[in-house]
Structures are given as structure tokens and as C-alpha cells.
Chain A
Amino acid sequence: MASDAVRAQVSAKWQESFARLNRDQPGITGLLNFSRAFAISLSYLHPRDINDPTVVRSANVPHVRAAMSTVNESRMLPYVLDGYLDEVRKRFNLVQKDVEVFMAEYAESSDPDVIRRLVFRLLAWYEAWTPLPDLGPVILSGYSLTFQTLLFSNLPPTFATGFKALCASTLPSAIPPSASTPTPSDYKMWAAFESLGLIDRFESILASVGYEHIEAYVLEMCKGKWSEPMLEGLRNWMSGKVVPWMLLAYARGAKSTEEARNMLQGVGSRFDFHMNKTLCDLRTNEIFDIIIDFPDSMGALVDLRDCLQRVDQRAELVAALRKANQKRLLHPGAETKLILSQYVATIKCLRIVDPPGVLLFKVADPIRRYLRERPDTIRNIVANLVGDDDTGDSLVDENEPIQPLQQADAEDYSDPNWEPEPIDAGPDFRANKPSDILSTLVSIYDSKDLFVRELQVLLAQRLLSITDDNVERVEKERRNIEILKIRFGEVALQVCEVMLRDMTDSKRIDGHVQSQEESVVHPTIISKHFWPALESTNLIMPGQFQKLQEDYATQFTHFKPDKRLRWLPNLGTISLRLELEDRTVEADVPPLEAAFIELFSDKNIWTIDDLTKAVGAVDRAAALNALSTWVDLGVLKEDEEGVFRLLEVAEEKSALTKGGKARGTEANPGAGGDGVLPPVTQQQQQAEQMRIYWKFIEGMLTNLGNLPLDRIQTMLKFAPGYDQTVEQLGAFMEAARREGLVVVREGMWRLNR
């Protein structure tokens, strides 16, 4: 049994509770009042089914409010609330049912509007169940926390996608740029989002909606459009279109622009960064083509430069460009000329993007290494320098001031403007002072001597090919050399100077000799040690040619008694007129051809062996080549192998005029028409055989660009059944050249396209 003390205690508690509930009212009136108020509160705070029209919330708000305050005064409100929240939990299946209905509809239609309606429906539930606002924030927040917890735990995963679609649908559509401003219903919806706590809950989704929108817009607007800088326009678009949306999503509560700006600061710069990054990624992917399009792609480069300052993706840019170069540029199929011009464009482009040159250094390295391995790099550079280029577009910018080649010099630390190397420069980075393009190209190789030597060879070729005292061309070469002198230095080009002087001297001497005794010979007299080694043969010019040479040499020695002339008979060209019985043939031919035809003026039939003997020892292939020129001109005819006959009277041209492939086809029986079939010579048979291999050669030249003859021969040996000698191949290629299928230049063959 309880002791007195306990009994007293219980009774004290009871008295106290009673007093609290009764609130100093007489008797138990207070208690009765309280229990009435409690009942009213409970019945008011009842999560009703909003679908059920019979249950109407009692509108007697003051009454309820009085009851609530009574309960509150008795400090029993938490119990009421607990009970209420329990009720909410129990009745949440009503909401759940609605969610399921809407989500099922959404799954069918994928229409974000369904989600929109769902949100409003949820809001209706939420608001219907909200306790009176003047119950204080504690109760309200307790309620909304419970409601949101229940809601989120009941929302299916597909809701996230739907929500995303809904958010996206509120964005101003990118294309066509519509001037849509947020409608009042949008405001309402965002308010609903906030009430339901959806914005906090799905913040990452919201952000990704923004990102994706920006990405799509940037890609749409900027892809492949390089001529103008896009960044400015994008920024305007951001502030004009995206920011209003962001205001809705992130700064609805803002009362002043100042406040809004503060609220948007973090998210705004994230979005701006994302825009820069997207553009940067896009341009990085396009960089190779941007460089190809330079200088029309200036805008893109400026964009890239600005983006790179914001987004640190320099390494990605380098990697992308290196990869693209590897894949698209540095392979055997690309012509050296092409690689060079792309390299030059790369230099120019990356200088815009990154003036200190770190990017360029990293990108250029593989290109330079590759170019160094190519045999014809120097030739191409030099050819371009002297304007000896088919395309005519110069690697070196003509507006660029001509200046001496710059050598990489040691850093001058006493320079007050000295700056340390950029932070991402590699250990072997050489501060590449913005020097001119040519210096950069020349620095691919360790020494410029190679260039000078090549230049000399090229100059020699060009000077010797000037046939008709073309003063202008000599002057042009002289101008070129003057310019190159500035670049390479006077001393290096001294030799070229001598070569040019030889040209003018020759002209002067020739003028003098001609005034003494007219001659058809107009030689270029060269200073032996100042010209590159010229191939010499033991060709002896027969007949009248010998006489012409001797006469001229005698005159020369009269003019310059202490000098003699030594002819290089295999060089130069001769204009001939052949008077045959029924026709005259005029031709400009090399000396060997002239020598042969001169021999035919004595005797109509020669064997090739006799011919070669008569002009000194010449290569059989060269001799065949020379003879085939005349065969093509219809002057000679090869009756049987190695025996040539002069055609005083022209024969039917069929089977004679065309070389190579055509020769074989036209010799087909029945194709002739005159009934007299020319005998199929060995050469024709070979030509027929070679037709099979033409496909191989064609493929080779397509894939590998220029090839020397012996390289073609080596590769053809892999073809089944190929048994031709390199001379035969040479003759065949020569025939193909006459047909216009290929062209040869400095011993390199390539397709004529």
C-alpha cells in the first residue's frame, strides 16, 4: 500500500494538473471548458479527404481559435499536434492514391503538364491539412516537415524525371529565341514548388536542367560557326533569358535587385562557368578544323582564349589537338606542303589563344619531330620561300616584316621586363619569343645550312631553266635572294649572289660574242665552284652541234683570252626544225634528243647501241627515253627492238603517237582500219603488261603522295608477277606522264590532279 507521502504527492500533482486545466475557474467549469476546447481542436485538426465534399471544414474560425488558445494555455498543444501528425500519417494514403493516379498518367503521356497538375494537387492537400497559421511557427514547421517527409518517401523515382521535364518546360525555348517572360502561372508553380519543399529536395535536378539548357543552346548556336566571337552574344542571352528563369527558381523571395543579385551570386557564377566550359569543350573538339579555317575562324579563337581564362582546360586542348594532328595530319597520306601550312596555321592560331606559347610548344613538338623525318620538308619550305609553289599561297605572311632569323638565345635575367615562364610550361619549354614564322620553321632543323644548300640547288634549277634571256625572271630571282639575304644573312647567300652574277655576265658575254659573230648558241656560263654539283655525262654532241660549240668557244676565248669554256652538253634546251620530205617538225628538246636526231640526218636507220656509242657513253634508259620523244612526235619509228628508223614520210599515226597504255589498245587487231597492222613490239608488250601494274602505281601515288622512281619499283616488286626493271618502269612512267596521268618534278612522281 502506498504510504502517506506518496499519497500526498499524487494528490499534489492532481491538484496542480487540475488547477492548470481548470485555470482558476470555479468548480470544474474550467475543466469542462478545456475538454470542449480540446474536442473542437481535435475535430478541427483532422486531415480530411479533400475529395469528399461532405466533409466541410467548419468555418467557425474564431471559435476554433478560441478553443486552440484554451488548449494552449493549458499547455496541452503538443499533445494535440502529436495526435494530428499521427492522423496525417495515417491518412496519407489518400495523397498517395492521387500521386499514383497522376504518375500513371505521366508514364503514359510523358507530358510535363501532368506533373504540373500533380504539384498543384499536392499543394491542395498540403494547404487543406495546414493547421491555422496563428498556431505559431513551431507547429507549422512541424507539420510541413512531416508532410514533406511523407511526400518524398512516397514519390516514385519517375517523379524526378517528370519534375525535370517540367522545369525544363518553363525555360524560354532556345530555338527560336522567344521573348517569353515568366507568366503569373509560372510564379504560382514555383511558389508551389517551394511550399512543398521541392526546390530544396531537387536542387541538383534543377541545376542540371539549367546546365543542359545552356549546353543545348551553346551547341546549337556555336557549333561550326567560327567567324564571329560568340561569347558576348551568349552572355547577353544568359542575362536576357536564363537569368529571369533563375530569378524564379532561386530568388523569388528577393525584394530588391540588390537582394536578388546576392541570392543569385553563387548559382549565377556556376551557370556562367558552365556556359564557358561548354563553349570551351566545343571549341576544343573543333580546334583542328578551326585551325584549317584560319584566318576565317578568328572569332572562335578569341572565344577560346577568353574561355580558357575562365575554365582551366588548357591540358585538354593540347591533348585534343595533338590527337587530332596525329590522326589527321601526321600520316603518310598528307603532303608535306599541307603539313607545313597546317603547322603555320597552328602557330598563328595558338598565338592568339595563348600568347606566351606554352600550348604551342606542346602541340608543335610532335609536328616538328614528324617534319624532321620527312625528306622533302626543307625543299618544300625553301620552294615556298622563293615562291616556287604550285599553289601560290605562301606559308610566310607577306605582311610580316622581313627580319633576320632569330636564334633561341639564353634568357636575359637583367631585363627589367623579364617574366618567369608560364606556370604550366614543361621543363624543356623554351621561351619562344614571338618570332616570325620562318624562324620557327627553320628551327625545325638544328642548322640553317641545310636550307641554304637546298636554296642553292633550287636556285640553280630555276636559273638554268630560264631559256630565252628572260631578264625579268632573273630580276625576280635576284629580288628573292635579296629578301632571303635579310633572313639568312649575307654571308650564307654569297654563293647565290655569284650564281646571279653569272647570269648577267653570261648575258653580257653572249651579247659581245653575238656582235662579233652571230650564233644560235646562247650559253649560260657558270662559275663551277659556286653552283651545286650538276650531273654531268660524257655526252658528245655530234655534227653541227660540235661545230657550233667550238665556234662559240673560240669567240669566247677571243673575248676572254685567259679563260676557256667547258660545255656541259647534257644541260639546256635546243629549238630544232626538222625538214622532212613531207613535213616540218619543230620541237624544243633536251640536248640528247637533239644529238640523236642529228645522227639520223646522216643515216636513216640506227640501232640504239650505235646511237649511244655515237654520242659518247650514255645511259641506255636515258637513250630510250630520248628516242621515245621522237617516236611520240612521229619522227622515228622503232621497227624492231633497239632499231629505229627515220620516217621521212609520216606514217599513220595510230599506235605511234600515244605512249604507254594507249599504245597497247590501239594496236589491237581490227582497230587500225588501214589493214596494215604494225608489228607488236617488245615495248608494246611491256606496255600492255604494265597496264596491270598501273593500278598499283596509281594507288601508291594516291596514298603516299610524291614518290621517286626507285621507291615505286621497290614497292611494285611486292606485286605478284612483276618482273620489270627500273628502266622499263621509268619508260612507262614517262609514257604515263605524256598522257597527262602523272607529273614528275625533281625526280618525284605524283598523280596529275
Chain B
Amino acid sequence: MKVTVKRWHAVAQWRWDTQTSNDPQDNDDDDDDEGNVCGICRIPYEGCCPACKMPGDDCPLIWGECTHVFHLHCLLKWLNTPDSKQQCPMDRRTWQTAERKVPVINRA
């Protein structure tokens, strides 16, 4: 017997790729929300920051060299406060945006 798929209407969720390593095997889907929230607003990455209404591309993430990930808007707001001293709010190292994960315009 030969099974041919003519059309597949599938359903999927999108996730931010929050893993810092490039290892695709690491992309384990865990629903552990605790690890998947923005350290500033405590809202899941796939949600949107308090200032936004639409998740996803309208409220992107920002990846830091220090492996910490935040909502872009949350982090910018933080960095704009004098108290931040341009440090990552999690580890107090100077914030450096990771090159690899800068939100990019469609390149494909």
C-alpha cells in the first residue's frame, strides 16, 4: 500500500529559540514556564511585554552575551534607567547583545 499525503492541515505553536547554544539537539520542548519567562516582567517569552498587545515579531526578544534573554522592550526600558548602569539585570555584567541572535530582518 502506498500512502500519499495530499494536503495536511497541521497545527503548531511557535516558540522563541531561547537556547543559547547552537546545538539543535538542545531544542528540547519543555513546558516549564519558570525557565521561559522574561526576567524583568515575568511574562513568558511567547507572551508579550506589558507595553505590547501583540506577541511575536511585534514584541521581540533580545539575547545577551551573558545567556540571559529578555523582551526587547523590557530590557530597553531597563537600560534607559540610570540605575541600570547598562548592566544585565540578572547578573550585573555589562549588557552586551549577542550577535547571533539580534532580531533580524527576514534573510531567507
Determine if chain A interacts with chain B. yes
What residues make up the interface of A, taking CB atoms closer than 8 Å to B? 464, 467-468, 494, 497-498, 501, 505, 512, 516, 520-530, 534, 543-545, 548-549, 552-553, 555-569, 571-580, 586, 591, 594, 597-598, 600-601, 646, 648
Question: Which of B53-61, B76-84, B89-97 participates in binding chain A?
Answer: B53-61
Indicate which residue in B5, B17, B29, B107 contacts A545 across the interface (CB closer than 8 Å). B5
Tell whether, in the assembled complex, residue A498 and residue B3 are in contact, meaning their CB atoms are under 8 Å apart.
no
Tell whether, in the assembled complex, residue A576 and residue B46 are in contact, meaning their CB atoms are under 8 Å apart.
no
Which B residue sits closest to A563, measured CB to CB?
B14
Tell whether, in the assembled complex, residue B12 and residue A566 are in contact, meaning their CB atoms are under 8 Å apart.
yes
Could you list some 22 contacts between A and B, CB below 8 A?
A: A512-B108, A520-B5, A527-B13, A527-B55, A528-B14, A528-B15, A528-B46, A529-B55, A530-B47, A545-B5, A565-B15, A566-B14, A566-B15, A568-B10, A568-B11, A572-B11, A574-B5, A575-B8, A579-B1, A579-B4, A601-B2, A601-B3
B21 within 8 A of A: no
Known: A497-B53, A520-B6, A530-B55. A562 touches B61 (CB 8 A): yes
Indicate which residue in B3, B5, B12 contacts A524 across the interface (CB closer than 8 Å). B12
- Docked Cα-Cα span, A601 to B4, in Å, equals 11
Tell whether, in the assembled complex, residue B60 and residue A562 are in contact, meaning their CB atoms are under 8 Å apart.
yes
Contacts of A572 in B (CB 8 A): 8-11
Indicate which residue in A468, A497, A516, A562 contacts B9 across the interface (CB closer than 8 Å). A468
Which A residue sits closest to B61, measured CB to CB?
A562
Complex interface bits, B1-38 against A, C-beta within 8 A gives 1, otherwise 0: 11111111111111111000000000101000000000
Tell whether, in the assembled complex, residue B9 and residue A563 are in contact, meaning their CB atoms are under 8 Å apart.
no
Indicate which residue in A498, A559, A575, A578 contacts B1 across the interface (CB closer than 8 Å). A578
Indicate which residue in A520, A557, A579 contacts B2 across the interface (CB closer than 8 Å). A579
Contacts of A468 in B (CB 8 A): 7, 9
Tell whether, in the assembled complex, residue B7 and residue A520 are in contact, meaning their CB atoms are under 8 Å apart.
yes
Contacts of B47 in A (CB 8 A): 529-530
- Docked Cα-Cα span, A461 to B12, in Å, equals 14
- Docked Cα-Cα span, A553 to B17, in Å, equals 13
Known: A563-B14, A564-B14, A566-B15. A498 touches B8 (CB 8 A): no
For the residues of A in contact with B, the DSSP-based class is mixed
Tell me the smallest distance from the CB of A467 to a CB of chain B, in Å: 4
Tell me the smallest distance from the CB of A724 to a CB of chain B, in Å: 33
Tell whether, in the assembled complex, residue A563 and residue B16 are in contact, meaning their CB atoms are under 8 Å apart.
yes
Tell whether, in the assembled complex, residue B13 and residue A520 are in contact, meaning their CB atoms are under 8 Å apart.
no
Tell me the smallest distance from the CB of B70 to a CB of chain A, in Å: 13
Tell whether, in the assembled complex, residue B10 and residue A562 are in contact, meaning their CB atoms are under 8 Å apart.
no
Tell whether, in the assembled complex, residue A549 and residue B53 are in contact, meaning their CB atoms are under 8 Å apart.
no
Contacts of B11 in A (CB 8 A): 464, 523-524, 526, 534, 567-568, 571-572
Contacts of A565 in B (CB 8 A): 12-15
Contacts of B54 in A (CB 8 A): 497-498, 501
Tell me the smallest distance from the CB of B47 to a CB of chain A, in Å: 5
Supply 5 further A-B pairs (C-beta < 8 A) apart from A566-B15, A576-B6: A497-B53, A556-B14, A561-B107, A572-B8, A576-B4
- Docked Cα-Cα span, A227 to B9, in Å, equals 52
Known: A526-B13, A601-B1. A562 touches B103 (CB 8 A): yes
Contacts of A526 in B (CB 8 A): 11-14
Tell me the smallest distance from the CB of A577 to a CB of chain B, in Å: 5
Contacts of B73 in A (CB 8 A): none
Indicate which residue in A523, A527, A569 contacts B56 across the interface (CB closer than 8 Å). A527
A-B interface pairs (CB < 8 A), number: 158
Tell whether, in the assembled complex, residue B46 and residue A529 are in contact, meaning their CB atoms are under 8 Å apart.
yes
Tell whether, in the assembled complex, residue A575 and residue B6 are in contact, meaning their CB atoms are under 8 Å apart.
yes
Tell whether, in the assembled complex, residue B1 and residue A520 are in contact, meaning their CB atoms are under 8 Å apart.
no
Tell whether, in the assembled complex, residue A524 and residue B10 are in contact, meaning their CB atoms are under 8 Å apart.
yes
Indicate which residue in A530, A559, A580, A586 contacts B108 across the interface (CB closer than 8 Å). A559
Tell me the smallest distance from the CB of B78 to a CB of chain A, in Å: 20
- Docked Cα-Cα span, A522 to B7, in Å, equals 7
Contacts of B15 in A (CB 8 A): 528, 563-566
Which A residue sits closest to B56, measured CB to CB?
A527
- Docked Cα-Cα span, A520 to B6, in Å, equals 6
Tell me the smallest distance from the CB of B48 to a CB of chain A, in Å: 9
Tell whether, in the assembled complex, residue A648 and residue B1 are in contact, meaning their CB atoms are under 8 Å apart.
yes
Tell whether, in the assembled complex, residue B108 and residue A516 are in contact, meaning their CB atoms are under 8 Å apart.
yes
Contacts of A571 in B (CB 8 A): 10-11
Tell me the smallest distance from the CB of B6 to a CB of chain A, in Å: 4
- Docked Cα-Cα span, A521 to B29, in Å, equals 21
- Docked Cα-Cα span, A528 to B29, in Å, equals 13
Contacts of B16 in A (CB 8 A): 562-564
Which A residue sits closest to B47, measured CB to CB?
A529
Contacts of B14 in A (CB 8 A): 525-528, 556, 560, 563-566
Tell whether, in the assembled complex, residue A528 and residue B9 are in contact, meaning their CB atoms are under 8 Å apart.
no
Contacts of B106 in A (CB 8 A): 512, 559-560
- Docked Cα-Cα span, A505 to B14, in Å, equals 11
Contacts of B4 in A (CB 8 A): 576-579
Contacts of B51 in A (CB 8 A): none
Tell whether, in the assembled complex, residue A573 and residue B12 are in contact, meaning their CB atoms are under 8 Å apart.
no
Contacts of A525 in B (CB 8 A): 12-14
Known: A523-B11, A524-B12, A566-B15. A561 touches B104 (CB 8 A): yes
Contacts of B1 in A (CB 8 A): 578-580, 600-601, 646, 648
Complex interface bits, B41-75 against A, C-beta within 8 A gives 1, otherwise 0: 00010110000011111001100000000000000
Tell me the smallest distance from the CB of A115 to a CB of chain B, in Å: 89
Q: Which of B5, B13, B17 has the most CB of A within 10 A?
A: B13
Tell whether, in the assembled complex, residue B3 and residue A597 are in contact, meaning their CB atoms are under 8 Å apart.
yes
Which B residue sits closest to A567, measured CB to CB?
B12
Listed from nearest, the 10 A-B pairs whose CB atoms lie closest are A571-B11, A558-B108, A575-B6, A523-B10, A579-B2, A575-B7, A467-B9, A577-B4, A572-B10, A529-B47
- Docked Cα-Cα span, A77 to B89, in Å, equals 132
Which A residue sits closest to B63, measured CB to CB?
A562
Indicate which residue in B9, B13, B29 contacts A574 across the interface (CB closer than 8 Å). B9
Contacts of B29 in A (CB 8 A): 566
Indicate which residue in B10, B17, B56, B60 contacts A521 across the interface (CB closer than 8 Å). B10
- Docked Cα-Cα span, A578 to B17, in Å, equals 37
Contacts of A594 in B (CB 8 A): 3, 5
